[in-house]
Amino acid sequence: MSAVSKYKGKAYLVGAGPGDPQLISLRGLELIRRAEVIIYDYLANPQLLKGASAQAELIYVGKKADRHTLKQEQITRLIVDKAKAGKQVVRLKGGDPFIFGRGAEEAEELADQGVDFEIVPGITSAISVPAYAGIPLTHRDYTSGVAFFTGHEGEGKESSGIDWDKIATGVGTLVFLMGVGNLEHNVSKLMKHGRDPETPVALIRWGSTPKQQTVVGCLKDIVAKAGQAGMKPPAITVVGEVVALREKLNWFEHKPLFGKGVVVTRTRTQASQLSTKLAELGAEVFEFPTIRIEAVDDYRQLDAALKRLADYDWLIFTSVNGVEYFLKRLKAKGLDIRELKGLKLCAIGPATAQALLDLHLRVDYVPPEYRAEAIISGLEQQGIKGQRVLIPRAQAAREILPEQLAGLGAKVEVVPTYKTVKAESNAKELKELFQQKRVQLVTFTSSSTVNNFVELLGQDNLPSLMDGVIIASIGPITAKTAEKHSLISQIMPPDYTIPALVAAIGEWFKKN
């Protein structure tokens, strides 16, 4: 390949890692964000594509054992053609491009065609998947040697690329990638060439993901056990005495939410905190935002209030969204936080208070219980009678706060600052998850998420779809809304915050 390519485009062969989206490299994430074209595999976690530009062309070329979207030659030609057309192309491959990933073949063709390319290594499943199953590939008390092999060697092949007579007893730990279909052939070869039939074996499917499934046996019985468990690709096979350490070191599959499917209904921009924390507990998270936060159509009321902020005594925020959109409008009108001088600030809970503290605004009152009723009680003790109160909030919200504050003698003004609208989630896909029994838990973080979730699935469909599904609501108001739709919340935290909700979910599943 010449030092300088004549084509403006460039191809990046990027390793996506074994399945856990957090195991991709920083360089890989950067390239996904910048890519104009992403050509991705069956084993590349689709969550990684969320970081792609909205303008990026996404092309699926996944290959399974029983069917291929495109042949390898067609995939290679696609990469070359897109790069020659001047595009920045990411070829996103499961694991590492150069460990049984055919990345070398793609790189060779790029070099032959004079197309500039870069290799971005990934964490291969050969080392990461055993680690997620609690199996160290080397251990000074067991073995200091490990070897990796493709599992596709078949009996119909005239000559094997594997020296069975040498590896059977010459290497302590053997790792076969993509070898489920040839499992019986591979273990029989090892035993035939001298490996002890009692040697421990582990078969690990969908390693490093919440779908991880592990079957442990020995050479003489692993085929039968794999059949009983219904093991299918993608899976790897680990052979060696180190497999015995899994009983002590199995950490991933012991997480409280391991194997549990959880639907998160928060807005897409706010879902990440909840989703990340649930995933850390081992859950398979499905994000289906049922609401979207937008600016109100008419800002005249808020604009009028901003002009006379000095007239108010209290400014009450009932959500993080209220803080965000209030400050956005303040800035849009050429003002800043100096306009809030002299105002007392009230936040409904710690997240809202933190949003204000992040702006270096001291909060004067946060109620011990994070809902409107507690604000009323607290402000009554602070002497709210005769005070002028501004509440920038959602366009549609409960009236209990302004009504009861007014009943205590406060002069209350409510100004619409943002609105909650129904998000366009894929109802068909969501229903299929419930029909396939892949969902064990649904989380609700507001009454809006409940109402729109019900509208998405259909009230009449709830009894069958939600049968056996656990409901987790962030607080009593949300739980009460769910109950109106015959959705009973089994989980509700003592504090109405996302961290408390996650903690309550984890504790519930530990006990149950």
Query: Which one of the listed residues 178, 231, 466, 492 is annotated catalytic?
Result: 178
**Residue 208: CB partners within 8 Å, gap ≥ 6?**
17, 18, 19, 20, 23, 125, 128, 129, 132, 252
The three-class DSSP label of residue 199 is coil
In what order do the strands lie in the sheet containing 57-60? 57-60, 37-40, 88-93, 10-15, 116-120
- The residue type at 322: G
DSSP conformational letter for 96 = -
313 is catalytic: no
Q: How far apart are the C-alpha atoms of 95 and 28, rounded to whole Å?
A: 12
CA 333 to chain centre: 37
Q: How far apart are the C-alpha atoms of 155 and 182, rounded to whole Å?
A: 9
Side-chain half-sphere exposure of 420, counting CA atoms within 13 A: 20
Q: How far apart are the C-alpha atoms of 256 and 419, rounded to whole Å?
A: 36
Query: Which one of the listed residues 1, 63, 81, 422 is annotated catalytic?
Result: 63
Q: How far apart are the C-alpha atoms of 138 and 173, rounded to whole Å?
A: 7
Beta bridge partners of 443: 264, 472
Residue spans of alpha helices (H) in 38-114: 72-84, 103-112
Terminal CA-to-CA distance of the chain, rounded, Å?
61
CA 292 to chain centre: 19
Degrees (nearest 5) of the Cα angle 103, 56, 15? 25
| Cβ neighbourhood burial of 399 (10 Å; 0-12, 13-18, 19+) | exposed
Other beta carbons within 10 Å of 170:
13
Residue with tokens 């400014």: 315
Nearest CA-CA partner of 274 in 22, 502, 20, 16: 502
CA 472 to chain centre: 18
- The token pair that represents 333 in the structure block: 């009108």
DSSP conformational letter for 325 = H
CA 145 to chain centre: 35
Query: Which one of the listed residues 41, 87, 277, 492 is annotated catalytic?
Result: 41
10 is catalytic: no
Residues 48 and 21: beta-carbon distance below 8 Å: yes
The three-class DSSP label of residue 457 is helix
E-strand stretches of 395-456 = 411-422, 441-444
Q: How far apart are the C-alpha atoms of 4 and 114, rounded to whole Å?
A: 9
Backbone dihedral angles phi then psi of residue 342, each to the nearest 5 degrees: 90, -15
178 is catalytic: yes
Q: Known catalytic residues?
A: 41, 63, 178
